[in-house]
C-alpha cells in the first residue's frame, strides 16, 4: 500500500547533513512495513535488527564499555558494515534499549555518514519516560499515522477520483454525479478506519463490504489493551489508562465535548489521571485537541491547558468501541454517535496532515471545532457537520469577532464557496493543508 510518509523518507535520505531517524506512531499503523519497503528500494545494502529478539545487542549496549567499542562490536555482531556507502541499518523495537537510544548521539556526532532508522512499539511512551539522557538535537523524529482518506483511495486504485476531488477543492467546483461515489467510499473508510490490516480486509471483500471482517479491528483493540497491561509499571496505572480510554466516547458525547475527569469516575482528579492520559497520548492511541483562548498567531501561545478534547486516533477503532456494526455504518444509521464520529474522523485527517489539533470556544455557546494556520491565509476556522444541513451560529459569531480571510465548513454537501465559507465535503478533508 502506498503511504505518503515515503516521500518524507526520501527527503531524509537526500538531506546532506542527516541525523538518525526515529519513526513514531501507533501500533499497527504500518511503520515496519513502510520502513522495510523504503530501505529495500532506496539502498544497496540493508540490515534490519529487532531488539525483542537480538539479546546480544541489548547486552552489548548494557555493558560498561566505550561508545566506540560498542559501535565496532555492533558491526561484528551484525556482520554488516553500516559505514559502507549506500547502506542503512533499521533498528526495530529500539524501546527495549535505553542505552542504545542514548547512543544515537554518538552515532550522529562521531559517525555522521551512517544511515539509521529506528522504530518500536510504544516508543513514544518510552521516550517520554527515559532514565538515560535523550539525544536532544541529535536525531530527527517523524510521525506516522493510520492511513488517511487519500491513502485509502489509493489502496482502492481510485487515482482518477482523487484527482477530481483535488481539482474541485482548489477550484471550489462541485463534484456533481461523482459526489455520491466519493461519499460511499467515505462511509467505507468509517467502517475500516486507516489501520492497514483493516483496510486490507476491506479490499478482500471485493466491493461486497457487508462481508467485512470486524475481527481485524477487534484484534487491534485487544492488542492495545494488552499493551496497557504489559507496558505499564503498576496495576493501578493500567486501570486508570483503561478507564480513560473507555470513557472517551462518553466524553465526546457530553454537551461541551471537553474532557472531564469526573466522567471517568466520581471524584477523579487531574493529578491522579494526568500521567495515565499522557501514556495514551504518547502511545498514539488518542489525540489531544486543545482549546484556544484567543485566535491569534501563534495559536499555541494562547492555549488554555485546562480545557481540551480527546479523540481516538482511528475512526474505525472508535466505531468498533461503540459497537457500530457494518450495516449501521454503511447505511449511515449511526444516530446519536454520528456527530462525534464525524468530528473524530476530521481530527484524524487534520492530524495526519501535520496540524496541531486546536479549537476555539467563545461566549454565547459559540464553538469552532478546529482552528488551523495556513502559510497563505493565516488562521482559518473549521466547522464540522455530519449532515447536509449546515446552519450554524458559531461561524457567524467567529466571523463578526475576528474577520478571517475565509472559513471552512466540512459536511456532506458538495464543494462550493458562498458567504465567505468554503464548503468542503467530508471525503475531501485530506486536501486541507498548511500550504493553502
Last residue of a domain, one of 143, 176, 204: 143
Residue 276 lies inside a defined structural domain of this protein: yes
CA atoms of 190 and 171, how far apart (whole Å): 27
Cβ atoms of 127 and 134 within 8 Å: the answer is yes
- Which structural domain range is residue 332 located in? 215-431
pLDDT at 260: 93
CA dist., res. 359 & res. 290, Å (int) = 6
Per-residue pLDDT reduced to its tens digit, 303-346? 999 999 999 999 999 999 999 999 999 999 988 899 999 999 99
All cell numbers assigned to 374: 495556513
Question: Of 143, 168, 200, which one is at a domain's C-terminal end?
Answer: 143
Q: Are residues 260 and 122 in the same domain?
A: no
Asked if residue 133 is part of any domain, the answer here is yes
Task: Look at residue 200 and tell me if it is in a domain.
Answer: no
H or E stretch covering 24: strand 21-24
Q: Please tell me whether residues 278 and 371 are part of one structural domain.
A: yes
In a domain, 71, yes or no: yes
Show which of 122, 143, 164 is a domain's final residue. 143
Task: Give the three-class secondary structure for 85.
Answer: coil
* Domain identity same for 137 and 235: no
In a domain, residue 84? The reply is: yes
pLDDT tens-digit map of 19-44: 999 999 999 999 999 999 999 999 99
365 and 229 part of one domain: yes
CB count in 10 Å sphere of residue 237: 15
Domain tally for the chain?
Answer: 2
Give the single-character DSSP code of 337.
G
What one-character-per-residue DSSP string does 358-377 give? EEEE-STT-EESEEEEETTT
Residues 98 and 243 in one domain: no
Whether 256 maps to a domain, the answer reads yes
Question: Which DSSP category does 141 fall into?
Answer: E
| pLDDT value for 18 | 83
Give the pLDDT score at 17. Answer: 79
User: Can you tell me the distance from the alpha carbon of 316 to that of 199, in angstroms, rounded to the nearest whole number?
Assistant: 10
Q: Evaluate whether residue 44 is within a structural domain.
A: yes
> Does residue 160 sit within a domain?
no
Looking up residue 107, the CATH number of its domain turns out to be 3.40.50.300
Ranges under pLDDT 70 in the chain? none
| pLDDT of amino acid 291 | 97
pLDDT of residue 45: 97
Statement to judge: residues 271 and 414 lie in one domain:
yes
- Is 398 found in the same domain as 281? yes
Give the model's pLDDT for residue 93: 96
Q: How many CA atoms lie within 13 A of 218 on its CB side?
A: 7
306: helix, coil or strand?
strand
Q: What per-residue confidence (pLDDT) applies to 369? A: 96
Torsion angle defined by CA atoms of residues 386, 392, 394 and 395, in that order, rounded to the nearest 10 degrees: 90
pLDDT number for residue 21: 97
Q: Quick one: pLDDT at residue 284?
A: 96
Question: Which pTM does this prediction carry?
Answer: 0.95
Amino acid at each position: 500500500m502506498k503511504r505518503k510518509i515515503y516521500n518524507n523518507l526520501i527527503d531524509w535520505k537526500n538531506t546532506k547533513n542527516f541525523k538518525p531517524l526515529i519513526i513514531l506512531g501507533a501500533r499497527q499503523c504500518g511503520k515496519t512495513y513502510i520502513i522495510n519497503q523504503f530501505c529495500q528500494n532506496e539502498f544497496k545494502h540493508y540490515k534490519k535488527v529487532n531488539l525483542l529478539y537480538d539479546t546480544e545487542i541489548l547486552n552489548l549496549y548494557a555493558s560498561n564499555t566505550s561508545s566506540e567499542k560498542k559501535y565496532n562490536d555492533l558491526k561484528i555482531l551484525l556482520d554488516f558494515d553500516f559505514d559502507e556507502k549506500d547502506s542503512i541499518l533499521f533498528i526495530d523495537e529500539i524501546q527495549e534499549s535505553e542505552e542504545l537510544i542514548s547512543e544515537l548521539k554518538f552515532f550522529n556526532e562521531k559517525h555522521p555518514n551512517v544511515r539509521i532508522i529506528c522504530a518500536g512499539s510504544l516508543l513514544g511512551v518510552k521516550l517520554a519516560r527515559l532514565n538515560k539522557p535523550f539525544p536532544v538535537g541529535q536525531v530527527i523524529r517523524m510521525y506516522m499515522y493510520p492511513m488517511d482518506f487519500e491513502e485509502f483511495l489509493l489502496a482502492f486504485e481510485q487515482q482518477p477520483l482523487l484527482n477530481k476531488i483535488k481539482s474541485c477543492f482548489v477550484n471550489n467546483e462541485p463534484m456533481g454525479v461523482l459526489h455520491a461515489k466519493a461519499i460511499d467510499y467515505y462511509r467505507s473508510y468509517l467502517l475500516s478506519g486507516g489501520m492497514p490490516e483493516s483496510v486490507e480486509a476491506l479490499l478482500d471483500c471485493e466491493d461486497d463490504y457487508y462481508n467485512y471482517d470486524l475481527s481485524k479491528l477487534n484484534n487491534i483493540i485487544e492488542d492495545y489493551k494488552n499493551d496497557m497491561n504489559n507496558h505499564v509499571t503498576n496495576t493501578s496505572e493500567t486501570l486508570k489508562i483503561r478507564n480513560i480510554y473507555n470513557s472517551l466516547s462518553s466524553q465526546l458525547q457530553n454537551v461541551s465535548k471537553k474532557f472531564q475527569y469526573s466522567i471517568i469516575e466520581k471524584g477523579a482528579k487531574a493529578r491522579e489521571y494526568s500521567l495515565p492520559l499522557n501514556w495514551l497520548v504518547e502511545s498514539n492511541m488518542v489525540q489531544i485537541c486543545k482549546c484556544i483562548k484567543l485566535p491569534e498567531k501563534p495559536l499555541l501561545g494562547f492555549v488554555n491547558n485546562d480545557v481540551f478534547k480527546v479523540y481516538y486516533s482511528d475512526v474505525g477503532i472508535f466505531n468498533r468501541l461503540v459497537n457500530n456494526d457494518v450495516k449501521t455504518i454503511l447505511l449511515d444509521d449511526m444516530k446519536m454517535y454520528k456527530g462525534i464520529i464525524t468530528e473524530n474522523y476530521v481530527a484524524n485527517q487534520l492530524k495526519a496532515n501535520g496540524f496541531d489539533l486546536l479549537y476555539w470556544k467563545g461566549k454565547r455557546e459559540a464553538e469552532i471545532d478546529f482552528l488551523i494556520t495556513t502559510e497563505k491565509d493565516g488562521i482559518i476556522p473549521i466547522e464540522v457537520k455530519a449532515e447536509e444541513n449546515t446552519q450554524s451560529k458559531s461561524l457567524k459569531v467567529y466571523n463578526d469577532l475576528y474577520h478571517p480571510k475565509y472559513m471552512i465548513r466540512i459536511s456532506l454537501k458538495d464543494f462550493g464557496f458562498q458567504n465567505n465559507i468554503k464548503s468542503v465535503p467530508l471525503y475531501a478533508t485530506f486536501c486541507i493543508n498548511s500550504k493553502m
